[in-house]
Amino acid sequence: MQKWDATGWRRKKVALALMASVGPDAITLRAIAREMGMTANAIYGYFPTRDDLVTTLINNVYTAMADAVDTAWEATPSADPAVRIEAWANAFRTWALINPQGFRLVYGDPVPGHQAPEGGPAPDAARRVCTGLTALAAAAWPHARHVYQGSAFDWPDFGPGLLEKVRSALPDLPPAAVALALRIWGHLHGLVSLEVYGHMRTQTTSPEKLFREEIAQLVETLGIPRRH
């Protein structure tokens, strides 16, 4: 049982700081105890194993990201799919830039040797993000379906984990729309990953402008009319 008092939250920050400074393999209970001026035995009272700590870290970080994009969706004052795609995309990028170590923990650098529990370290957050992305595709689908009439995608083309999440939340969505959700994810995740990992620094002085125009082009490609 983890004790999430102020000391517990400090441990999470220490673990993420260690990961940022020397990589994901630096996340050990002994290293965290040393950084906090504690004995290794003392920290075992909070996390029996390093895997428990890493799993809790991933769950907390992923949940925070899911909260950010869900809040952006719910705060959107209209059902306009263009506005919702932009709001979700901007919330995702903003969260990632504020929490780069957390982004790396969830989407980038695996912690060597970490054994996640069955179902993954953050199943609820993963489901929320997945269904949120698919909901973006579902909102765009009435405008975009004509573009994908010749799609060769069928249900066996997707992993069972994705299908379980998507078909339980949006059972009427066709396979081509699920593929569209993955394309939208590729647009968002690709540029954000490049920015978080520092690959944009020498390429452009305006990564935000590049991201904004990429999302605008995506909306246009999907055939979604802009309401002014």
Reported as a single tens digit per residue, the pLDDT across 87-106 is 999 999 999 999 998 899 89
Q: Contact, 100 vs 196, CB < 8 A?
A: yes
Distances 162 to 74, 105, 159, 179 between C-alpha atoms, Å: 23, 21, 5, 11
User: What is the per-residue pLDDT across 32-44, written as a single tens digit (0 to 9) for each?
Assistant: 778 878 887 877 7
Q: For residue 142, which of 167, 171, 174 has the smallest C-alpha distance?
A: 174
Lowest mean pLDDT among 15-19, 26-30, 119-123, 199-203: 15-19
Q: For residue 30, which of 57, 61, 53 has the smallest C-alpha distance?
A: 53
Burial class (CB in 10 A: 0-12, 13-18, 19+), 35: middle
Cα–Cα–Cα angle for 99, 164, 147, rounded to 5 degrees: 80
Confidence of residue 136 (pLDDT cuts 50, 70, 90): very high
Q: What is 60-78 written as a DSSP string?
A: HHHHHHHHHHHHHHHH-SS
Confidence of residue 7 (pLDDT cuts 50, 70, 90): low
* Angstrom distance (rounded) from CA 208 to CA 117: 37
**Residue 3 pLDDT > 60:** no
Is this model's pTM higher than 0.75 or not?
A: yes
What is the chain's mean pLDDT, rounded?
88
**Mean pLDDT over residues 122-139, rounded?**
95
**Mean pLDDT over residues 23-31, rounded?**
78
Q: Contact, 157 vs 175, CB < 8 A?
A: yes
Confidence of residue 208 (pLDDT cuts 50, 70, 90): very high
User: Percent of the chain having pLDDT more than 90?
Assistant: 60
Lowest mean pLDDT among 6-10, 95-99, 137-141, 207-211: 6-10
- Please name the residue ranges forming H helices in the chain: 6-22, 29-36, 40-43, 50-75, 81-98, 100-103, 123-144, 160-169, 175-196, 207-221
pLDDT at position 1, please? 40
